[in-house]
Amino acid sequence: MLFTLLALVSLAVLADESHVALDKKDAGVDNDDVLLFSFFRDNGKNGVYLAVSEDGVHFSPLNDDMPVMKPAPWEEQNITRDPSMVFHDGKFYAVWSSGWSGKCFGYAESKDLVHWSEPVKVVPPFPANQIPRNTWAPEICWDPGQKNFMIFWSSQINAKREKQIFVTRTVDGKEFSVPELSINPNFNCIDGSMALDDSEDAARWVMIYKNAEPDAKNLYVATAPSDFSCPWSLEPNPIVGRGTAVRPNECAEGPSLVKWKGSWYLYWDAYMNRHYSMASSTDLKSWTDRTAELQMPPHPRHGTVFRAPRSAVGWLKQRE
């Protein structure tokens, strides 16, 4: 009986410690995680830039504020707009808009953000009756359920006026699944950004996307089960930008959502006002404007904020 009691106590202690460790990992305090920001400037002709932050509010440039990755020398596809990066299993993966029009986007990998693989021109394998006129703002994230990468972007198909968000999947960056329509809010939408919310009893995906209609230019939120067993649940009203309580007089695009130390941090390009904006939330419903606190390198354009171990960032090692 005594042995059984001691065993139960030990299991309870271990369970409690495991819970604490999980909470710390989620908060980004049990390891050396930092937040990184990949972005472009001007028209994207100079390459991809990086900045780093310890708190998600104050970002400082890496590589002396010079590009960390140059554009690929592809004819009419030689810019690096809207760069998105993710860190998974010891490696960084990047995608970007390589041109204003066309059927492709760029893809590359790196172990340290200093040395990059040869860029790959990815042409999503649309069915023959679907011809994309453009391939804008690809975003990449790791799906731990299906154990592959999701890449989603916006395209106008054939003669359609509206842009829609499509998704493809890849395991190795070499073979890609047939694109599928990701979300359909019944208006012109672009710039989807996704993050996995595992803080609830049932994990879910969260997407922030832009309503690109002329009278909108604001950001919406949608959620879906982690296994995509149900369609996206679309919130009916925008959360930031025109017509909202947060930055109501700003056009918003290029959102990036990240969970950091127990809160959701949302960043976006206030492109008409020529600055970046930020809001935070604990429940994805009520948002607090943090723009006045936000410090970014000069003139950043549409990018992605993502989490990675400090020890994996080669540019930080060079500072030591």
Give the Å distances, CA to CA, from 277 to 227, 239, 247, 259, 274: 31, 13, 8, 17, 10
CA atoms within 13 A on the CB side of 136: 22
pTM, 2 dp: 0.90
Kindly tell me if the per-residue pLDDT of 18 is higher than 50.
no
Give the SS3 label for residue 312.
helix
Q: For residue range 60-102, what is the model confidence (pLDDT) as tens digits?
A: 999 999 999 999 999 999 999 999 999 999 999 999 999 999 9
Give the SS3 label for residue 8.
helix
CB–CB of 151/143 below 8 Å?
no
Residue with tokens 């916006």: 154
Kindly tell me if the per-residue pLDDT of 243 is higher than 60.
yes
First to last CA, the chain: 56
Kindly tell me if the per-residue pLDDT of 40 is higher than 80.
yes
Lowest mean pLDDT among 21-30, 41-50, 230-239: 21-30
Instruction: Provide the pLDDT for residue 160.
Output: 85
Separation of alpha carbons 36 and 54, rounded Å: 9
Instruction: Provide the pLDDT for residue 273.
Output: 96
Kindly tell me if the per-residue pLDDT of 181 is higher than 60.
yes
Residue with tokens 């829609």: 164
Q: What residues does 96 pair with on adjacent strands?
A: 106
Kindly tell me if the per-residue pLDDT of 1 is higher than 60.
no
Enumerate residues 6+ apart whose C-beta is below 8 A from 169. Answer: 143, 146, 148, 149, 150, 151, 176, 177
Enumerate residues 6+ apart whose C-beta is below 8 A from 45. Answer: 71, 78, 79
Q: What residues does 49 pair with on adjacent strands?
A: 39
Give the Å distances, CA to CA, from 203 to 22, 152, 200, 206, 229: 15, 20, 6, 10, 12
Give the SS3 label for residue 264.
strand
CB–CB of 160/104 below 8 Å?
no
